[in-house]
Structure 1
Amino acid sequence: MMMTDEWMSIIEQSEILSDMLLSSEIIQEYRRANHAVYSDKSLAKAIYDFTNMKERYEEVQRFGRYHPDYKTVMKDIRIQKRELDMNEQVAALRIAENDVQNLLNEISTIIARAVSDSVKVPTGDGFFSDSSCGGSCGTGGGCSCSA
């Protein structure tokens, strides 16, 4: 593929869009929330411990309730998850992550629709799609959409 003026223009415009995104308030809020969570040593340790517990949980899930530590691991992971979910800094980070995801979904949809209405955008959110199936189902019309 040869680099043309059109390609160069697209690349330049994408860099401008990227710079705009990085300087947006939504991204700045995400960075603040992320820093607040991971600069707190006790919270970072709780996240690390939860990650280790998730690995134990996945091992226990392979064997189900027949695993000797099934009840202990199931109880402990729920307790740790609840503690993290109730933390205000973690909740703020999750909200900020969702806001960033929504922004990126919206931008992806706008770009795709600028190309064609039939371009499928895997946003995972039915809000931006026009069809009943979310606009990007893989069933070939099996969900009664107009695929």
Structure 2
Amino acid sequence: MGIINEFKEFAVKGNVVDMAVGIIIGGAFGTIVKSLVSDIIMPPIGMLMGGIDFSDLIIPLDGNEYASLEAANEAGAPVIAYGMFINNVISFLIVAWAVFMLVKGMNSLKKKEEAAPAEPPAPPAEQVLLEEIRDLLKAK
């Protein structure tokens, strides 16, 4: 029963919820970046390189020639899809850059917060009362 209680304690902590939200948003962000790379970035690069579609860059392992990755998949041929690998590397670099910029921004906000001068703590109520009594005695 100890493990179940430990798991309950872990699961109800706020950090788990924050982590779950981060994973969900990260997955959605990954989908957007994948679309950005395959639908927006790679087509112009492929056009500049003579009309190459990077997603169709393959090395068939069965010795046959295929027009595209889709054609090879339909034929059930084993292939090395290095074009898809290139797309995924570019997607990773974009996500890594975005995470780096996010962490950098958070660190700079944290440094500004730490650099801001903190107000001195208020004196204890007894000290304030004693100072008022002292001032009243001086006035008499």
**TM-score, scaled to structure 2:** 0.30
Larger Rg: 2
**TM-score, scaled to structure 1:** 0.29
